[in-house]
Amino acid sequence: MRAIAYGLCAALLSARPGFAQTDEIEVYDARIAAPGIVNLTVHDNYTFSGLRSPRFSGGLVPDHTLNGVPEFAFGVTDWFEQGLYLPLYSVARNRGATLDGFKIRELFVVPDAADRTFFYGINFEFSDNAKHWDTSRYSQEVRPIIGWHLGAVDLIVNPIIDNPFRGAKNLDFAPEARIAWNLSKDWAIAAEQYSDFGPVRHFLPGDQQSQQLFGVVDFNGAPITVEAGLGFGLTQASDRLVAKLILSRDLN
């Protein structure tokens, strides 16, 4: 945990600008693949109604655009998972099919998070981005994970800091949160909030922030888990209607 803390401090001192496109709409709950297990998760999201101009010059138009990525994860120990996102892809109304880059990640968690009342972890992602995907060729995400299993209810917060390696003044605060009600062992419904407040030194005005509220249904059975949701934008800077689908299964 001391090494994790040092890594977090180093990362924060070294955040991509807000409102970059996203391939992954998910609140992390500190669950990881068991040691020796390879897991495949496919993330897809489609903007039915969104911004009709790019968020930055040369970027993708969000409206009627599909973003996604296969995520390969390997359980190294009961507290560490190594991940690879490859390839990031989009089908955008202004560019057609594109490849957007790739990411590697290191996820550190408290062991057996699913069986604990209080759980925590931290995730580091390092991205190599295409010019149309992000204004920074290289970027990083630092994602703390804090949560509670309270009977049938789960409360989870991911206070994310994004880092474009352009100094502390450009660190971006993009927190996520989830409250879920577990209907059974396999089924849950949830509300999730995805935000981007802008630079940590000076948050953007409220109407320029990205704020989305998702309704989500989870199926956690075997051999595949499914997470499906529909999100609604709450500000002018947010895409108005976005659907997400996450499919996951162990490969061995």
What does the pLDDT look like over 194-215, one tens digit per residue? 999 999 999 999 999 999 999 9
CATH class of 2-250: mainly beta
101 pLDDT more than 70: yes
Tokens of 245: 């689908």
What percent of the chain has a predicted confidence (pLDDT) above 90?
A: 89
- Round the CA-based radius of gyration of the chain to a whole number and report it: 17
Distance, in Å, from the CA atom of 203 to the CA atom of 226, rounded to the nearest integer, reads 34
Distance, in Å, from the CA atom of 239 to the CA atom of 196, rounded to the nearest integer, reads 12
What percent of the chain has a predicted confidence (pLDDT) above 70?
A: 92
CB 53 within 8 A of CB 210: no
CA-to-CA separations, 1 to 4, 78, 80, in angstroms, rounded: 5, 14, 11
Read off the pLDDT of residues 161-198 as tens digits, 9 standing for 90 and up: 999 999 888 999 999 999 999 999 999 999 999 999 99
Read off the pLDDT of residues 130-163 as tens digits, 9 standing for 90 and up: 999 999 999 999 999 999 999 999 999 999 999 9
Cα atoms found within 13 Å of the Cα of residue 251, Cβ hemisphere only: 12
Instruction: Give rounded-to-5 percent helix, strand, coil for the chain.
Output: 10, 55, 40
CA 144 to chain centroid: 12
pTM listed for this prediction:
0.91
**pLDDT grade for 19, boundaries at 50, 70 and 90:** very low
| Residue-averaged pLDDT of the chain | 92
* Residues shown for the chain: 252
CB 215 within 8 A of CB 229: yes
Residue 20 confidence (pLDDT): 53
